[in-house]
Amino acid sequence: MTHSLHRSGTLESLKGDYVWFMYQAKGINDTNIKEKAEEFIAAAELVGSENWGDVKTGPIVSYPKEYIKQNIGNKSRLRGVFTSRKQVTEFLSIIKQKNLGTSVVISGLLDEVLSACKEAGVTPHTINYSLGIWGKKELLPDDDILSITTMCGHHMISPNLVKKLVQDVKKGRITPEKAAWKLATFCPCGIFNQVRAEKLIDELKNKS
């Protein structure tokens, strides 16, 4: 599963986009997950995670936080997004102190995340590098659209829907903020970054 690995966009835009994960491994450290998940959520909320969720229930852009928390079980997978390196550093510092024993993963620009690790005093163990898109690339939508659709790594967001919403924004039928929020509800994991999407949609509305 590599659904957060291949987010595209300019370096500047990706500086506002990080995904956090809590992972337990079956038979190794998969006990008391609800308690641990609540600690993760508390830390993520404290530093301002704009979206998070559990794929078993859904993301906070679609469901009340309390409802998602109530439904957490030993097979839950918690994940969410940060919009700055500072949040990543603070989050890692808190989680390190809590010493919960589950795996923690941050997906984002390597230079930024590695320096956040250093600042937080955690040691990188394994990296999965994104080596980009291969094959018949002429089938792809343009880069602006991909920067938005790849924020749902399971590709539940249609490029045509992004184009339609950009048109609706241009015509004044919807604000960029509402359009970004609508797109976020299509990502069941809670890793769509609606804050970044709003900026991208706002930029797109001024393009021809």
Partner 1 sequence: MTVINQEKCTGCGTCVPYCPLGAISVVSKKAVIDQTICPNCYVCVRNKVCPFDAIEKQEIDTFIGQFQHIISDPVETTEQTGVPGRGTEESKTNDVTGRVKKGEVGICIDMGRPGIGCRLRDVEKVAMAVTSAGLKLEGEDTTPLAMLMEDNSKGKIKEEYLDTNVLSIIIEGKCPMETFPEIIKALQKVEKEIDTVFSLGVMVRVDENGYSPILEQMEQLGLPKPYRGKINVGLGRPLITE
Q: How far is the CB of 192 from partner 1 (least distance, A)?
A: 12
Give backbone dihedrals phi and psi of 18, rounded to 5 degrees, phi first: -135, 145
53 φ, ψ (degrees, to nearest 5): -175, 180
Phi, psi of 27 (to 5 degrees): 75, 0
Read off the amino acid at residue 60. I
- Residue 19 per-residue DSSP state: E
Q: Smallest distance from the beta carbon of 151 to partner 1, in angstroms?
A: 10
Which one of residues 10, 31, 70, 160 is an interface residue with partner 1 (CB under 8 A)?
160
Range 113-152, binding partner 1 (CB under 8 A): 113-114, 117, 122-137, 139-141, 146, 149-150
**100 scored as a contact of partner 1 (CB under 8 A):** yes
Interface region with partner 1, contact rule CB under 8 A, candidates 45-53, 109-117, 169-177, 192-200: 109-117
Q: How far is the CB of 29 from partner 1 (least distance, A)?
A: 6
Q: How far is the CB of 4 from partner 1 (least distance, A)?
A: 6
Write out the binding residues for partner 1, residues 183-202 only, by CB under 8 A: 185-186, 188-189
Give the span between the Cα atoms of 39 and 35, in whole angstroms.
6
Residue in this structure with the two tokens 């989050």, named with its chain if needed: 91
95 binds partner 1 (CB under 8 A): yes
What's the angle, vertex CA 165, arms to CA 162 and CA 167, rounded to 5? 110
- The CB-of-86 to partner 1 minimum distance in angstroms stands at 16
| CB proximity list for 70: less than 8 A, separation 6 or greater | none
Question: By CB under 8 A, is residue 171 in contact with partner 1?
Answer: no
The verdict on 106 binding partner 1 (CB under 8 A) reads yes
From residue 186, how far is each of 3, 8, 26, 55, 153 by CA, in Å?
Answer: 14, 18, 28, 12, 11
Instruction: Tell me: does residue 37 bind partner 1 (CB under 8 A).
Output: no
Regarding 156 and contact with partner 1 (CB under 8 A), the answer is yes
What 3-state class would DSSP assign to 79?
strand
Stretch that binds partner 1, among 6-14, 42-50, 170-178, 194-202 (CB under 8 A): 6-14
Cα separation, 155 vs 149, in Å, equals 7
In the bound complex, what is the minimum distance in angstroms from residue 25's beta carbon to partner 1?
Answer: 4
Site for partner 1 in 58-77 (CB under 8 A): none
